[in-house]
Amino acid sequence: MPKKAAKKAATKTSARRATKPAKPAAKAKPARPSANKAAPRSKAPKPAPRATAPVAIPTDGKLTFNHAMIYVKDVARALGFYRDLLGFKLIEDFRYDGTPVYARLRAPGGDGTIALHQAGPGASLVSEGVRLYFEVRDLDDFCRKLIQKGFYITQMPRMMEWGWRHAYLNDPDGHEISLYWAGEKRMAKSVMQAAKAVAKG
């Protein structure tokens, strides 16, 4: 091919290349984090709401106290005393024609439970051989609050000869109740002489 013809062909090829659109540059891949660099921390999931602690159930075959059943003339009235005045928490209740006839309640502190049961027509509720005991640290303050709500206390808190402070009252059905505070002495033997000395002083 003559030199002039070769030169023209080269010029045309160069022109075509100049007018041809350039290919878009390939997107750069994101660099992988180095093993030395810590990856950004993701937000920790929120903890699930804490469930109520399960009641400890003995599995060694030994007898344990479960609850006290209290027979009453009017379960709704008894609920007004044990739940609304003493602070027991209602677990469940059963109704007949819309009227409560049975209820289970849990003490505001600890795992102790009681049950209120509708007494039959004409049934006697006399229970001179049984007394219910409920323990509370701020005994005097608790009794004052009951009085402010209009409840009558037959004996205000005082030190007894066995070393515990007691108050006495009756529920709406006449069941005798003692409110007291024993604390660390609860599982110990009563110290009669020491209590008498405190009472005299």
Could you say which DSSP state residue 125 is in? Answer: -
pLDDT of residue 60: 78
pLDDT tens-digit profile of 70-81? Answer: 999 999 999 999
pLDDT given for residue 182 in this prediction: 85
Mean local confidence (pLDDT), 8-14: 50
Rg (CA), the chain: 41
Residues sharing a CB contact under 8 Å with residue 160, sequence separation 6 or more, in sequence order: 166, 195
CATH 3.90.120.10 corresponds to the domain 65-120:
no
Residue type, 92: E
Is residue 169 within 8 A of residue 146, CB to CB? The reply is yes
pLDDT score of 194: 60
- Lowest mean pLDDT segment, chosen from 20-29, 70-79, 147-156, 157-166: 20-29
CATH class, domain 131-201, is alpha beta
Start-end of H helices in the chain: 3-19, 75-82, 139-148, 192-200
Q: Tokens standing for 42?
A: 């993701």
Ranges of each domain in the chain: 65-120, 131-201
Q: Poorest-confidence range of 156-160, 185-189, 193-197?
A: 193-197
Q: Which residue has the higher pLDDT, 40 or 149?
A: 149
* Nearest-angstrom CA–CA distance, 75 and 32: 71
Highest mean pLDDT pick, 25-39, 80-94, 171-185: 80-94
Residue of 177, 138, 182 whose CA lies nearest to 160? 182
Q: 42: pLDDT confidence band, cut at 50, 70 and 90?
A: very low
